[in-house]
Amino acid sequence: MRHSTWRYVWSAGCAGLVMLGLPVAAQQAGAPAGGAVGTPPPVASNPIASVASTEPAPGDSNEIRKKVAEQGERIEAMRSQISAQMAQLDAMKRALAEQEADYQSLRHAVGIDVLDKQRAGNIAAGGAGASALPMPAADSVAAVAPAPQQQPVGEAPKPDTRPPEVAPIFQQPGVLTPKGKFVIEPAYQFGYSSVDRVALVGYTVIPAILIGLIDARQVKTTTQIGWLTGRYGITDRMEVELRVPYVWTHQDTVSREIFTGTATDNAFGSSGNGLGDIEATIRYQLNVGGPDKAFYVGWFRVKSNSGKDPFEVTTDCIQRCVENVLSEVPLSVTGTGLPLHQPSGTGFWSLQPGVTWLYPTDPIVLFGNVSYLYNVPRDNVTRHILLGGTEQLGKVKPGDIVDLSIGMGLSLNEKASMSIGYEQAFVGPTKQNGQRVPGSTKIVLGTLLIGGSWRFNDKRTLNFTVGVGVTRDTPDATVTVRVPMMY
């Protein structure tokens, strides 16, 4: 109850008391005064009315006294009620003061006072109805009210135009490096393949040329590749990449030589290691996507022939061809073409344009790649065979590759995410001097990929991928581990 209400009640009670007491005071004061002076009472026109007015009945006087007593009791009750309400109001004032002190201490602890000062311009620009917080502090509002209109109002946060991050399972990443940032990515890949012919598309190509005169029953290949990749963000939507690989390969071939009449299978093993084919890539984000709107990243990759190619290695004709069958068949038909050492590169330059797309749709992200790899043909190709001699092969053109892939990424929490996808490549046949090489056919490579990602912090991430071949010509299993580090 407010002070104005209490004043009103008190004034009403006092007025009522005065009004009730005036008649009694008049009667008590009139009789003694007339007796003391000795003046006779005035003559009234109506004696009966005069007697009635000057001499009240005893019953009326008692009733008036009773009313006065009751009014006094009510006034005392109201006084008691007002006192109780004033005590309650004092208690509420003390509680309000304590809450105000707690509120101010909480504002200071979380830094809202500083935020109010920073938002002063926004409040002034927003008008009388604007406020920085649902419960602004009194000093903050006072500081904001007289702020001039010219005070800066701040800038809205820039929208995030970068594609969402997912656990990478394909060779081409979807998230570009921010402008001015540099990423170093060491990586390791282990692959194992067991097929019934020499048909590798990665670092050993044109198998039909290399085989020669053997009947390959089974080829088991173990490949380990370590590479160091560097990426630099030119703008927020463009980056360049350079990758330098080092390759170690071991191959065991179970074969049977033809024209010898033997029915025994022989195992022949060879290994090789060295610098692989260095490659460079440029990527550009074509649009600004968002929720339920795809991001598109175009890229162009150039692969060199810096690694040791299949034509530079020497075949194993001294140990297997000459010594074993020299006395049985002419020397001209004993070359197997199996290399004594494994190559570390393809031997051809390659150009590969492609597009990567990402489509975020809560709670997953769909992504994929479409690319075309063109192998640049080589002229005047020769290979080393038979006791250090060479053979002229002419113009060799490996088959081009069309690659399609699709995947799905899911963020498990702020640190972990996983992806699953499928990649399929269509490899064309190898041609020599414009003609298809005998035994070279179109190849379809299909790989099921499962990957995961663990973020240590904003600049360090661990990515791993497991690939399983689903076609006969695809490596049986591949395991890839990458650790991108941003600087």
Q: What is the mean pLDDT of residues 434-460?
A: 88
pLDDT of residue 62: 84
pLDDT of residue 230: 95
My answer on whether 272 and 132 are in the same domain is no
Does the structure show a pLDDT above 90 at 423? Answer: yes
β-sheet bridge partners, residue 366 = 359, 408
Position 293 confidence tier, pLDDT thresholds 50, 70, 90 = confident
- Domain hosting residue 135, numbered range: 113-144
My answer on whether 434 and 304 are in the same domain is yes
DSSP code string of 212-239: -SEEEEEEEEEEEEEEEEEEEEEETTEE
**Residue 422 backbone dihedrals phi, psi, to 5 degrees:** -140, 135
Position 400 confidence tier, pLDDT thresholds 50, 70, 90 = very high
Count the domains in the chain: 3
| Residue 157 within a domain | no
My answer on whether 77 and 207 are in the same domain is no
My answer on whether 102 and 223 are in the same domain is no
My answer on whether 291 and 223 are in the same domain is yes
Q: What is the mean pLDDT of residues 389-395?
A: 80
Q: What is the mean pLDDT of residues 126-145?
A: 48
| Residue 413 within a domain | yes
Residue at a domain's end among 144, 165, 193: 144
* Alpha carbon separation from 351 to 280, 374, 427 (Å, rounded): 10, 5, 15
CATH number for 345: 2.40.128.130
Position 163 confidence tier, pLDDT thresholds 50, 70, 90 = low
DSSP letter, residue 322: I
My answer on whether 119 and 104 are in the same domain is no
My answer on whether 201 and 56 are in the same domain is no
| Residue 442 within a domain | yes
Secondary structure class of 165 (helix, strand, coil): coil
3-state helix, strand, coil in the chain (%, to 5): 30, 40, 35
Does the structure show a pLDDT above 60 at 406? Answer: yes
* Alpha carbon separation from 296 to 224, 280, 292, 299 (Å, rounded): 32, 20, 13, 10
| Residue 130 within a domain | yes
My answer on whether 120 and 96 are in the same domain is no
Q: What is the mean pLDDT of residues 171-186?
A: 86
**Least reliable range by pLDDT among 128-132, 264-268, 402-406, 459-463:** 128-132
My answer on whether 132 and 96 are in the same domain is no
Q: To the nearest whole number, what is the mean pLDDT of the chain?
A: 75
Q: What is the mean pLDDT of residues 204-224?
A: 59
| Residue 406 within a domain | yes
The pTM (predicted TM-score) of the whole model is: 0.60
| Residue 176 within a domain | no
| Residue 282 within a domain | yes
Secondary structure class of 4 (helix, strand, coil): helix
My answer on whether 53 and 25 are in the same domain is yes
| Residue 138 within a domain | yes
Position 292 confidence tier, pLDDT thresholds 50, 70, 90 = confident
My answer on whether 258 and 339 are in the same domain is yes
Position 156 confidence tier, pLDDT thresholds 50, 70, 90 = low
My answer on whether 251 and 388 are in the same domain is yes
